[in-house]
Structure 1
Amino acid sequence: MSAPDRSGVRVVLAGGGTAGHVIPLLATADALRRRVPDADLRVLGTSEGLEARLVPERGYPLVVVPKVPFPRRPDARALRFPGALRRAVGAAAGAIREIDAQVVVGFGGYVATPAYLAARRAGVPIVIHEQNARAGLANRLGARFTERVATTFASTELPHATRVGLPLREEIRTLDRAALAEEGRVHFGLDEGRPTLLVFGGSLGAQRINEAVAAAGADLLAAGVQVLHLTGAGKDVPAPDQDPRTGACYRALPYTDRMDLAYAVADLALCRAGAGTVCELAAVGLPAVYVPLPIGNGEQRLNAREVVEAGGGLLVEDAQVDPGWVRGVVLPLLQDGPRLEVMATAAAEHGDRDAADRLVDLVLDAAGADR
């Protein structure tokens, strides 16, 4: 094996399993490469998460670390946990040694805990980024080992926390919605001059939102509103196609790999409140009605709270979302252009496009590198 390139900063980035960990990690890696073109980077991830595909596609070496969930009850998995954790820490330590890493950057998730433990044992500085308003277990542990703790939201409770925002993928960070609007309309087959509702619920969709909007679809089209509905993989949504009188259409797709164009054509989004969604919509100045996932620890409600309080969105409980609510709340909002403009301005003023560079500042400081 050839000797590693030591002319640039040497960084191990750890995070995987979900888009919430992987997308900010890749955005940070890209920002590091922009700032330090000869940076030597390694990414720790699992073999089955999104990172297994996305990291190599982006051109970064992926080091697979065994997935070791924290045991939550005294069962057989808990008995296997110490040995599994040792193996995962060993894999992380190997990646740190391979490039003689100057800093380890963790984004939470299954691989972050082994990375933090391996870095602490090796005496390598740690930088943490917490995506959600409510910190996960891995980052709560890691924050005990470092004073360089970055958060997306000001309300996140972690020791030494500094709000930097959420590192965004490049096509969103640089998005000019007005400049791409026509390309987006052509791409999705939409008309100019119509109010446009963008509906989505993540890669798997949001069933309650899907059903409510589809059932109210005829009323939206009759009012001249066009709908771009990303239903989620495997979700069949029986929605109308086009209103014969107004000509407004309903475009239902399982997903798109051009969310930049979807944001560009929309006047309002109706969606869940994952941290990535909230931060992307605010950054590009797209007002939204956020419907937090009704299960889990309530983090999605916290994620949306700040932009809603700033006037850039509305928050509604999942149980309220039905066809009548779409007709009575969402439709009038889409017809109120001045209010949407005010909300868009508030969202953009609250949003943040420079989080990746601020996080890179912390990483380079930890590595002792010149900026």
Structure 2
Amino acid sequence: MRVVLAGGGTAGHIEPALSLADALRRHDPATGVTALGTERGLEVRLVPQRGYDLALIPPVPVPRRPTLDLARLPGRLRGAVRDTTAVLERVGADVVVGFGGYVAAPAYLAARRRGTPVVVHEANVRPGLANRLGARWAAAVACAVPGTPLPGAVHVGMPLRRSVTTLDRPAVRAEARAHFGLEPDRPTLLVFGGSQGARRVNEAVAAAAPALGRAGVQVLHAAGMQNEVVVERGPGAPPYVVVPYLERMDLAYAAADLAVCRAGAMTVAELCAVGLPALYVPLPIGNGEQRLNAAPAVRAGGALLVEDEHLTGPRVADEVLPLLGDPERLRAMGAAAAAFGRRDGDEQLARLVRAAAQGDGALREGGAP
């Protein structure tokens, strides 16, 4: 089977695509996988690192408001569809799997032109424009969150890395804390804001650092590649470890008792899968999707939510310290998050993809085979 993945741009699109690729290869190591991307996306680094073929096409961002870019869209789209069709022909694609983003719409249109089956995976509660387009004729539509408003959508969860889905947090906690230079027995807060970091989260938690230190809380803080975090800690204060990026998110999750973070679809899915309680701070721009991503986990009792505009150092301390001082409540929140999370999204989506490539026409009505 030869599969083309369309999920370039951000880690939230790329990581599920690569997790699917890993699942397909586990089932059949001979599966051919080619990822579509653009020269300015994270896929330029992430896809080759994971050992998969990368084909570059022009990005086609769709403006949400009437602008000069909207007038240029038809020409850009035609060129990207032409280039994508050439990729599908070159690799002999049996199925195209799209995850949204700048390369998804050209991939869906090229697949339709060529007669190649399409599978759509939507990570967010509120579908993007490209996935709404592809879902109109897809052989199968999958979603990470129940109730996603796409026709015929099957809830499969989010395809996640095996290092996350197989993680036993208590079993590797000591190793994880030693890996990051943390002390073995202190309450531990994990702070991160996605691959680029989050300035508001960085500033608020740094402002709370003295209060966290006085309470005996140690912190592992991923600030983002271009960001700097400076904290004040008194003599004898527990560790406050600042890193630009976390290569081993599995160990970061194992080290932590609680997370403060944004609410991207991938972040919420991973934290729920591993049963790590969180204080979510949704990104305040866009279409509000991050607040919607976090809402089910909050309703389930596995997380709290603070709006970005209300996040300050005192608010961080007020929310975090009572939780980290109450192990029983943390355990209950972790169990609630885990009950909502799923660890088999990669395998469920892989089954849909294999069935679509084999021409199973009942996927949209019957669910995952």
Q: Shorter-chain TM-score: what band?
A: over 0.9
> Please, which of 231, 235, 239 is the counterpart of residue 244 of structure 1?
235
8 Å CA contact 1:147–1:160 kept in 2: the answer is no
Contact 2:11 2:195 in 1 (8 A): no
The one-letter amino acid paired with 2:184 is: E
Q: Per-residue CA shift, 1:266-288, capped at 9, x if unaligned? A: 00001110001000001011000
- What is aligned with 2:354? 364
Normalised to the residue count of structure 2, the TM-score between the two structures is 0.94
Partner of 2:133: 141
Displacement of 1:162 in angstroms is 1.0
Decide whether the 8 Å contact of 2:200 with 2:311 is kept in 1. yes
Secondary structure of the equivalent of 2:220?
Answer: strand
Which residue of structure 2 aligns with residue 3 of structure 1? none
Please point out which of 315, 333, 349 is paired with 2:323: 333
Q: Does 1:214 align with 2:214?
A: no
Q: Deviations over 1:26-81 (max 9, x none)?
A: 00011110111111221111111011111122111111111111244554433332
Partner of 2:364: none
What SS does the corresponding residue of 1:141 show, helix, strand or coil? helix
Report the AA paired with residue 297 of structure 2: V
Aligned length: 361
Cα distance in 2 between the residues matched to 1:75 and 1:283:
41
**Cα separation, 2, equivalents of 1:347 and 1:161:** 23
Deviations 1:190-234 (A, max 9, x none): 111111011111122222221121111111111111111111122
Paired residue for 2:156?
164
| Contact 1:239 1:252 (C-alpha < 8 Å) held by counterparts | no
Deviations 1:136-189 (A, max 9, x none): 010001111124100111131111111111101121122121222122111111
Structure 2 SS opposite 1:175: coil
Residue 19 (1) aligns with residue 15 (2): no
1:345 partnered with 2:348? no
Distance in 1 of aligned mates of 2:67 and 2:260: 41
Q: What letter matches 2:348 in structure 1? A: R
Partner of 2:267: 277
Equivalent position of 1:309 in the other structure: 299
Any idea what SS the aligned residue of 2:348 has? helix
SS of the residue aligned with 2:4?
strand
Q: For the structure 1 residues 74 and 369, does the alpha-carbon distance in structure 2 shift closer, same or farther, using more than 3 Å as the test?
A: closer
Deviation at residue 23 of structure 1 after TM alignment: 0.4
Secondary structure of 1:216's counterpart equals: helix
Distance (Å, rounded) in 2 between the aligned partners of 1:189 and 1:75: 50
Amino acid at match of 1:83: G
Q: Residues of 1 paired with 2:163 and 2:13: CA distance? A: 18
Mean CA deviation greater in 282-291 or 34-43: 34-43
What's the offset of the Cα at 1:259?
A: 1.2
Q: Is the 2:263–2:290 contact (alpha carbons within 8 Å) kept by the matching residues of 1?
A: yes
Assess if the C-alpha contact under 8 Å between 2:178 and 2:184 holds in 1: no
2:307 maps to a residue whose letter is: E
Note the residue ranges of structure 2 that are not aligned, 5 or more in a row. Answer: 361-368
**Which among 185, 208, 211 is matched to residue 177 of structure 2?**
185
Q: Deviation digits for residues 287-335 of structure 1, max 9, x if unmatched?
A: 0010111111100011011111111111111122112212222111111
Q: Percent identity?
A: 59
* Corresponding residue number in structure 2 for 1:122: 114
Q: Which moved more, 1:83-92 or 1:232-241?
A: 232-241
Write the distance in 2 (CA, Å) between the matches of 1:206 and 1:75.
Answer: 28
Is residue 173 of structure 1 aligned with residue 182 of structure 2?
no
Query: Which amino acid is 2:112 matched to?
Result: R
The CA deviation at 1:94 is 1.2
- The 5 A counterparts of 1:38-187 are 38-187=30-179
User: Following the alignment from structure 1 to structure 2, what is the Cα–Cα distance between the partners of residues 76 and 213?
Assistant: 40
**Aligned residues of 2:262 and 2:281 also touching (Cα < 8 A):** yes
Q: CA RMSD in A?
A: 1.6
Contact 2:139 2:356 in 1 (8 A): no
Q: Partner amino acid for 2:150? A: L
3-state SS, counterpart of residue 260 of structure 2: strand
Unaligned runs of 5+ in 1: 1-8
Q: Is the 8 A contact 1:147 1:159 kept in 2?
A: no
My pick for the range that moved more, 97-106 or 66-75, is 66-75
Please state whether the residue corresponding to 2:124 is helix, strand or coil. Answer: coil
Q: What SS does the corresponding residue of 1:251 show, helix, strand or coil?
A: strand
Counterpart contact for 1:102–1:367, Cα < 8 Å? yes
Q: What one-letter code is carried by the residue in structure 1 that aligns with 2:179? A: H
1:113 aligned partner, one-letter code: A
Secondary structure of the residue aligned to 1:86 is helix
**Aligned mates of 1:119, 1:223 — CA distance in 2:** 57
- Looking at structure 1, the residues matched to 314 and 63 of structure 2 have their Cα atoms a distance apart, in angstroms, of 43
* TM-score between the two structures when normalised by the length of structure 1: 0.94
Query: What is the match of residue 199 of structure 1?
Result: 191
Distance in 1, matches of 2:67 and 2:321, equals: 50
